[in-house]
């Protein structure tokens, strides 16, 4: 009997079509010949005759090949079959793999959904974080050659303490360093401007005064309008370059913005241009919410030598090192110091440093931002480990299929490529979901995140953000896919083909346990971080601030400046009366500098650094709700002799008389050189301006009309009452008959806005911690379920040998907890190691608190037990008869 | 004109129509189709492997017919071809064309021989 299939196959060799297709054609034609041959035999032909006649059917063999080739290549097909090596046409092979992966994912759609969501979570978190920190940490600053720009500042030698501003003299000197310095900008302090001449309630516009050459030194051009000019500066003209955000927001992008006038203390300031959108005002380290720049008259050369209000930015010439310039300026400064007749106090220990722009702008946030980047990266690691374990389980359950493919001739690399394509598809779908979720949630997130993120955040459609997303998706797909890939490449064809899953194969998932341990370890770090930040927040909120912020308002009234201190004193005393009589006010008082404004007071006294003196009016302590610890507060008699009495805060007491009890201090005399002795009449509580601020040691003295400057008011409202700023303004105007500007702030708001960072950190870490915990639990559950399914026979055998369901449950849980315990231990060690770094973000929480560590470990183990318990229950329900029959 | 060439051209022109017509009623496999053509033409028209199968594959590629492996009890599996919806439309059109053509030829040749 002729072997027609063999014959056809030999004739079709060289057809060059997809092997699967070739096999089909072969089979069909062989079938035809077989049918013909059989028919001829039935018709009475001999074998030889039938064979010859059938052979004749080939006609001219070449014709068949030609025809087939023509038909089969009508649409070019790449010969990539399951078993085939990689085809010559890479794209066609890839298309095939993508189609194949898509089909197999559709079949396992729950797995696919879970995996894509895990990717979405891991990558979404990282994209969100990247878009928020890219501009502050990674992207080049939006100036020309930003690395050449430095801020010059005076620092206390050997420390990071700086006064921020510099004497004009040094600035002028640095301008003369033309060999190394390309330009120098003097930045000054910010001032408030309003849109209308009459100060009203509208939000103020904060502009930072700068010298005319600022944009030239920073290497940028206005988005609209023109730059400042030297001539305008010399002519003492007031001009402004407003920020892009201000123009788009407040001015609705008005095209006629150039030429509009802003007002400061009744003086006009013309808007001459709009800054580019990307521009980060270099002044933002001075004034975080600066709305633009105002031209300062060119006063540098004529400024008094002692004037200290300059913050110069230098642009060094290309290739000049900042250290060399620093040394040069310091030596010149040393020379200048010696020439001065009366040196500034403490000037001897000051050195000049050049600080890179990025450090100035974001240096104080850098470690905080890195912490968040690290936490987000850990979430991605957990997500990848989780996916790797899911893919491992999936790969293991498809070992049979892989073995068939290897048996058909597929190479290891071919198998791995299929697995990688699958993992890439999952990660890209996940990334897309993540990005869409971010776009959808971005509005809501804006409210939650602190300004340092929202102000510099890039939108999701930013090219760098999209690039990062693609990179993250690819990397995490490879990271998650590599282990399952390697396992797949090592598949033992013979044993995989002999066994079908679930029948007595050794059930351990190699590699899966290490992944679980890794997941547990990372989860520990994140959960510990979450607990620490949460405890820190609770600790902050429960801090005693030393006074009663509830129903307290801080009131500011600005009167036109009057030279005479006595007149000023009388005017502000009248304002205090007005505040006291405002509708809804229960109590009111004032201080020259309010201790809760965040500003520092006057010098405490000669010889005491870091402590402050505050001048207060009658009723100040009562209005604030400060606690009186010993003695009494100021009486009207005390206020009449302001130079003779004082009240110390608790810390002030410890500073002056360490170890003395409050009651013993009352009545003692306080003596500072150059001042009349002062009697301490009382001790009051320490006051904090924010929850996290360490209170300053303070001395409170009655306000003195002779050395009077200004008053900041505090008012306590009656229950349920709110103060009206327009009423305040009108009443003050009636009383004093001068233009005033007034503002009222609710003190508790000041405290809650100070908590924004802490709340955000707690929210972030809690979310990360919960996500990590959930992912770890899912991974554990998946691996546990798989192992239980694989070990059905073993379970059945154990049961038939006398194990109880309880024994089996315990066995499964115990084995599942093994890697978790290892992971938790590693995680705790890592947390302990990272504690030094974490500590700086915590308030009143010890990052190495053993109780916290034990608690974190318990949370992890409890979660793991729960995740392992579900498969364990299934193991306990194994029917030994059914399980053993499967062998 | 050489009669062999004439026959071959005739066969080529009508081959698609013949195959489509044969599987219109029910799906058939390749050998069955070739047998039916031979029987119904009483041996006048015969399709050999070299012309039949490439034609079937071409029709399949065009989407007019669809082949499917079918296993019947006690037999080896065979590839059965059935007419697709598109094939049905093509068949109707080809039938009309063929009829018009044959009528025209008849009229011409009839007049000449009359």
Please, which pLDDT band fits residue A499 given cuts at 50, 70 and 90? low
Please, which pLDDT band fits residue A822 given cuts at 50, 70 and 90? very high
Please, which pLDDT band fits residue A876 given cuts at 50, 70 and 90? confident
DSSP string of A509-528, one letter each residue:
-TTHHHHHHHHHHHHHHHHH
Average pLDDT over residues A858-862: 93
Q: Which domain holds residue B105?
A: 3-113
Structure tokens at A367: 């470690």
Inter-chain touch B58–A32, beta carbons under 8 Å? no
- CB contacts under 8 A, A 662-701 vs B, are none
Which of A24, A58, A67 lies closest to B54 in CB terms? A67
Compute the count of residue pairs across chains A and B with CB atoms less than 8 Å apart.
58
Inter-chain touch B30–A32, beta carbons under 8 Å? yes
Percent above pLDDT 70 for chain A: 88
pLDDT, tens only, A601-655: 888 887 787 789 999 998 899 999 999 999 998 888 888 877 789 999 999 999 8
DSSP string of A437-466, one letter each residue:
HHHHHHHHHHHHS-HHHHTTPPPTTSHHHH
Residues of B in contact with A33 (CB under 8 A): 49
pLDDT on residue A648: 93
Cα A820–Cα A863–Cα A853 angle in degrees, nearest 5: 70
Least confident residue range of A407-421, A509-523, A549-563, A807-821: A407-421
pLDDT on residue A823: 94
Residues of A in contact with B29 (CB under 8 A): 31
ipTM: 0.90
Nearest CA in chain B to A74: B61
Average pLDDT over residues A157-177: 73
- CB contacts under 8 A, A 5-34 vs B, are 24-25, 27-29, 31-33
pLDDT on residue A77: 40
Closest CA to A422 of A101, A724, A683, A729: A101
pLDDT tops 90 at residue A318: no
Nearest CA in chain B to A8: B49
Q: Tell me the range of A192-206, A565-579, A822-836 where mean pLDDT is highest.
A: A822-836
Average pLDDT over residues A831-844: 86
Contact A197, A266 (CB under 8 A): yes
Inter-chain touch A36–B31, beta carbons under 8 Å? yes
Closest CA to A691 of A615, A592, A612, A757: A757
Please, which pLDDT band fits residue A82 given cuts at 50, 70 and 90? very low
Q: What is the mean pLDDT of chain A?
A: 82
Residues of A in contact with B48 (CB under 8 A): 57-59
Residues of A in contact with B53 (CB under 8 A): 25, 28-29, 32, 64, 67-68
For residue A345, give Cα distances in angstroms to A170, A348, A600: 17, 8, 19
Closest CA to A487 of A387, A386, A391: A391
State whether residue A576 is helix, strand or coil. helix
Residues of A in contact with B49 (CB under 8 A): 29, 32-33, 57-59, 64
State whether residue B48 is helix, strand or coil. coil
Q: Tell me the range of A352-356, A451-455, A837-841, B83-87 where mean pLDDT is highest.
A: B83-87
pLDDT on residue A625: 93
Inter-chain touch A57–B49, beta carbons under 8 Å? yes
The H or E element spanning position A487 is helix A463-489
Q: Could you give the number of structural domains in chain B?
A: 1
Percent above pLDDT 90 for chain A: 17
Query: What pTM, to 2 d.p., does this model score?
Result: 0.67
Please, which pLDDT band fits residue A305 given cuts at 50, 70 and 90? low
The larger pLDDT score, comparing residue A2 to residue A500, is at A2
pLDDT tops 70 at residue B33: yes
Assign residue B58 the CATH number of its domain.
1.10.10.10
pLDDT tops 90 at residue A396: no
Helices (H), A737-849: 747-754, 756-790, 792-800, 805-839
- CB contacts under 8 A, A 31-70 vs B, are 31-33, 35-36, 57-61, 63-64, 67-68, 70
pLDDT, tens only, A739-786: 677 888 888 888 887 777 788 888 888 888 998 888 888 888 888 888
pLDDT on residue A505: 47
Least confident residue range of A282-291, A314-323, A853-862: A282-291
pLDDT on residue A719: 85
Measure B112 CA to nearest chain A CA, in Å: 37
pLDDT, tens only, A541-591: 888 888 998 889 999 888 877 778 888 888 888 999 999 999 999 999 999
pLDDT tops 90 at residue A853: yes
Contact A622, A634 (CB under 8 A): no
Inter-chain touch B49–A35, beta carbons under 8 Å? no
Contacts of A189 (CB under 8 A, 6+ apart): A208, A209, A286, A309
State whether residue A558 is helix, strand or coil. strand
Extract the runs of DSSP E, i.e. beta strands, from chain B: 28-29, 65-70, 78-83
pLDDT, tens only, A91-144: 667 787 888 888 888 888 888 888 898 889 899 989 988 988 888 888 888 888
Structure tokens at A9: 């196959």
Please, which pLDDT band fits residue A83 given cuts at 50, 70 and 90? very low
Instruction: Tell whether B72 is within 8 A of chain A (Cβ).
Output: no
Average pLDDT over residues B17-37: 92
User: What's the CA gap between A128 and A376, in Å, rounded?
Assistant: 9
pLDDT tops 50 at residue A79: no
The larger pLDDT score, comparing residue A374 to residue A79, is at A374
The larger pLDDT score, comparing residue A215 to residue A453, is at A215
pLDDT on residue A183: 64
pLDDT tops 60 at residue A286: no
pLDDT on residue A753: 75
Helices (H), A296-411: 322-339, 357-397, 399-407
Instruction: Tell whether B76 is within 8 A of chain A (Cβ).
Output: yes
Least confident residue range of A346-350, A465-469, A504-508: A504-508
Inter-chain touch B79–A75, beta carbons under 8 Å? no
Average pLDDT over residues A862-886: 84
pLDDT on residue A621: 92
Please, which pLDDT band fits residue A244 given cuts at 50, 70 and 90? confident
pLDDT, tens only, B1-16: 455 676 767 777 788 8
Contact A728, A578 (CB under 8 A): yes
User: What's the CA gap between A744 and A767, in Å, rounded?
Assistant: 36
Measure A23 CA to nearest chain B CA, in Å: 13
User: What's the CA gap between A344 and A351, in Å, rounded?
Assistant: 13
pLDDT on residue A78: 38
Least confident residue range of A97-101, A106-110, A233-237, A394-398: A394-398
Inter-chain touch B53–A58, beta carbons under 8 Å? no
Residues of A in contact with B34 (CB under 8 A): 32
Which residue is it, tokens 């992207």?
A139
Which of A24, A64, A75 lies closest to B50 in CB terms? A64
Contact A394, A105 (CB under 8 A): no
Least confident residue range of A31-35, A83-87, A466-470, A676-680: A83-87
User: What's the CA gap between B41 and B45, in Å, rounded?
Assistant: 6
Please, which pLDDT band fits residue A854 given cuts at 50, 70 and 90? very high
DSSP string of A222-263, one letter each residue:
-SEE----HHHHHTT--EEEE-HHHHHHTTTT-TT-TT-EEE
Closest CA to B60 of B83, B89, B33, B26: B83
């Amino acid at each position: 009997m002729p072997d027609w299939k063999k014959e056809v196959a030999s004739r079709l060799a060289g057809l060059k079509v997809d092997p699967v297709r070739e096999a089909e054609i072969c089979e069909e034609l062989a079938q035809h010949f077989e049918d013909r041959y059989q028919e001829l035999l039935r018709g009475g032909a001999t074998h030889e005759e039938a064979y010859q006649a059938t052979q004749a059917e080939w006609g001219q063999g070449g014709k068949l090949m030609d025809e087939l080739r023509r038909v089969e290549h009508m649409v070019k097909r790449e010969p990539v079959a399951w078993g085939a090596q990689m085809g010559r046409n890479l794209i066609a092979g890839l298309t095939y793999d993508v189609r194949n992966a898509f089909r197999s994912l559709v079949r396992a759609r729950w797995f696919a959904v879970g995996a894509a969501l895990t990717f979405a979570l891991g990558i979404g978190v990282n994209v969100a974080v990247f878009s928020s920190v890219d501009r502050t940490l990674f992207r080049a600053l939006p100036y020309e050659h930003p690395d050449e720009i430095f801020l010059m500042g005076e620092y206390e030698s050997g420390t990071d303490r700086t006064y921020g501003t510099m004497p004009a003299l040094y600035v002028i000197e640095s301008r003369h360093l033309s060999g190394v310095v390309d330009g120098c900008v003097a930045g000054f302090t910010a001032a408030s401007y309003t849109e209308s001449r009459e100060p009203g309630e509208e939000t103020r516009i904060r502009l930072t005064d700068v010298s005319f050459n600022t944009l030239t030194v920073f290497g940028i051009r206005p988005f609209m309008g023109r730059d400042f000019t030297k001539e305008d500066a010399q002519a003492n003209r007031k001009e402004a370059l407003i920020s892009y955000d201000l123009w788009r927001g407040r001015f609705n992008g008005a095209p006629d913005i150039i030429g509009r006038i802003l007002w400061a203390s009744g003086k006009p300031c013309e808007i001459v241009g709009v800054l580019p959108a990307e521009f980060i005002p270099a002044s933002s380290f001075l004034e975080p919410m600066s709305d633009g720049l105002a031209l300062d008259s060119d006063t540098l050369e004529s400024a008094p030598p002692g004037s200290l209000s300059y913050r110069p930015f230098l642009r060094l010439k290309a290739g000049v090192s900042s250290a060399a310039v620093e040394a040069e300026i310091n030596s010149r400064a040393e020379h200048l110091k010696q020439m001065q007749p009366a040196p500034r106090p403490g000037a001897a220990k000051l050195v000049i440093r050049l600080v890179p722009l990025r450090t100035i702008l974001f240096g104080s946030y850098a470690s905080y931002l890195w912490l968040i980047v690290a936490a987000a990266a850990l979430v991605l690691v957990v997500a990848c480990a989780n996916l790797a374990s899911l893919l491992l389980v999936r790969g293991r359950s498809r070992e049979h299929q892989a073995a068939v493919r290897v048996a058909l001739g597929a190479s290891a690399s071919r198998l791995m490529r299929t697995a990688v394509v699958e993992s890439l598809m999952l990660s890209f779908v996940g990334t897309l979901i993540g990005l869409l979720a971010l776009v959808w949630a971005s509005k809501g997130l804006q409210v939650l995140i602190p300004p340092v993120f929202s102000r510099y955040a890039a939108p999701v459609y930013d090219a760098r953000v999209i690039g990062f997303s693609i990179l993250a998706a690819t990397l995490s797909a490879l990271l998650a896919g590599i282990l399952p890939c390697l396992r797949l490449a090592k598949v033992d064809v013979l044993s995989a083909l002999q066994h079908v899953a679930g029948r007595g194969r050794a059930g351990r998932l190699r590699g899966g346990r290490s992944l679980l341990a890794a997941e547990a370890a990372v989860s520990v770090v994140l959960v510990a971080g979450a607990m620490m930040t949460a405890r820190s927040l609770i600790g902050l909120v429960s801090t005693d601030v030393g006074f009663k912020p509830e129903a307290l308002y801080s009131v500011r009234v600005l009167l036109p400046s009057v030279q005479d201190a006595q007149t000023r004193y009388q005017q502000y005393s009248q304002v205090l009366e007005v505040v006291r009589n405002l509708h809804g006010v229960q109590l009111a008082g004032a201080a020259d500098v309010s201790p809760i404004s965040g500003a520092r007071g006057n010098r405490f006294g000669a010889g005491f650094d870091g402590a402050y003196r505050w001048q207060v009016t009658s009723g100040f302590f009562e209005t604030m709700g400060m606690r009186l610890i010993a003695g009494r507060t100021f009486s009207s008699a005390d206020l009449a002799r302001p130079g003779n009495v004082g009240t110390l805060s608790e810390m002030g007491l410890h500073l002056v008389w360490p170890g003395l009890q409050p009651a013993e201090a009352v009545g003692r005399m306080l003596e500072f050189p150059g001042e009349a002795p002062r009697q301490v009449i009382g001790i009051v509580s320490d006051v904090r301006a924010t929850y996290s601020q360490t209170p300053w040691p303070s001395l409170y003295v009655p306000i003195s009309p002779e050395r009077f400057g200004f008053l900041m008011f505090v008012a306590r409202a009656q229950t349920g009452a709110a103060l009206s700023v327009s009423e305040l303004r009108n009443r003050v105007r009636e009383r004093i008959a001068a233009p005033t500007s007034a503002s009222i702030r609710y003190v508790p708001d000041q405290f809650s806005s100070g908590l924004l960072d802490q709340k955000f950190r707690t929210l972030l870490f809690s979310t990360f911690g919960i996500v990590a915990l959930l992912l770890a639990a899912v991974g554990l559950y998946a691996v546990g379920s798989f192992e239980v399914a694989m070990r059905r026979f073993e379970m059945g055998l154990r049961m038939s040998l006398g194990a109880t369901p309880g024994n089996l449950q315990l066995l499964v849980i115990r084995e599942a907890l093994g890697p978790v315990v290892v992971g938790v231990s590693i995680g705790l060690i890592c947390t302990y190691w990272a504690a030094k770094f974490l500590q700086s973000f915590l308030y009143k929480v010890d990052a190495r608190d053993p109780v916290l560590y034990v608690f974190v470990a318990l949370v992890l183990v409890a979660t793991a037990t729960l995740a392992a318990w579900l498969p364990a229950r299934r193991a306990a329900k194994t029917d030994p008869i059914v399980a053993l029959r499967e062998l | 004109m050489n009669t062999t060439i004439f026959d071959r051209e005739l066969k080529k022109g009508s081959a698609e129509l013949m195959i489509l017509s044969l599987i219109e009623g029910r799906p058939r496999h390749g050998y069955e189709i070739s047998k039916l053509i031979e029987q119904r033409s009483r041996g006048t028209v015969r399709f050999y492997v070299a012309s039949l199968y490439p034609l079937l594959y071409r029709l399949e590629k065009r989407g007019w017919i669809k082949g499917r492996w079918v296993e019947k009890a006690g037999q080896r599996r065979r590839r059965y071809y059935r007419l697709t919806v598109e094939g049905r439309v093509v068949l109707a059109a080809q039938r009309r064309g063929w009829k018009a053509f044959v009528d025209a030829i008849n009229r011409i040749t009839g007049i000449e021989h009359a």
